[in-house]
Amino acid sequence: MATFDDFMKLDIRVGTVVEAKVFEKARKPAYQLAVDFGEELGVKRSSAQITQQYQPEELVGKQVLAVVNFPPRQIANFFSEVLVLGTYSEGGVVLITPDKPVKNGDKLG
C-alpha cells in the first residue's frame, strides 16, 4: 500500500498543450507533446500514448495534469520530461483535465 506521504512526493501540475505531433520513432503509437506549465516550470516535453482518443490538432490548447518531478525518460531519440496523466479506458487513454480553465502551473491539491 502507498502511504499519504508517498502521494505527497508527487508534484502534479496543470499545463496547456502548446504543440502536439506524431512520434514517428516510438515503438507504440504516441505523440510528442510540449506542455506549458507557466513561469515557474516553463514548457516541458512528454511522450504520450493517447493516439486512440485524440488527434494532434485537438490537443493544442487543452489543459492537462502531469507529474512534473519524475526524472526525464529517454524514448528513442526523445527525452520525456513529464508524465501526462490519463485513465486506461475501453477506447484508449483519456486525459485527466480540469473541468474549468485554471492557471498553468497550478498544483493538484
Q: What is the pLDDT of residues 2-25, one digit of tens each?
A: 999 999 999 999 999 999 999 999
**CATH code for the domain in which residue 63 is found:** 2.40.50.140
Position 109 in a domain? no
Position 108 in a domain? no
Q: What is the pLDDT of residues 68-108, one digit of tens each?
A: 999 999 999 999 999 999 999 999 999 999 999 999 999 99
Q: Rounded to whole angstroms, how far apart are CA atoms 68 and 19?
A: 17
Position 105 in a domain? no
Position 102 in a domain? no
- Is the pLDDT confidence value at 109 over 90? no
Q: How many domains does the chain have?
A: 1
Please list the helix, strand and coil fractions of the chain in percent, rounded to the nearest 5, in that order: 10, 40, 45
Query: What are residue 107's DSSP bridge partners?
Result: 13
Position 101 in a domain? no
Position 36 in a domain? yes
Q: Rounded to whole angstroms, how far apart are CA atoms 42 and 39?
A: 5
pLDDT of 41? 98
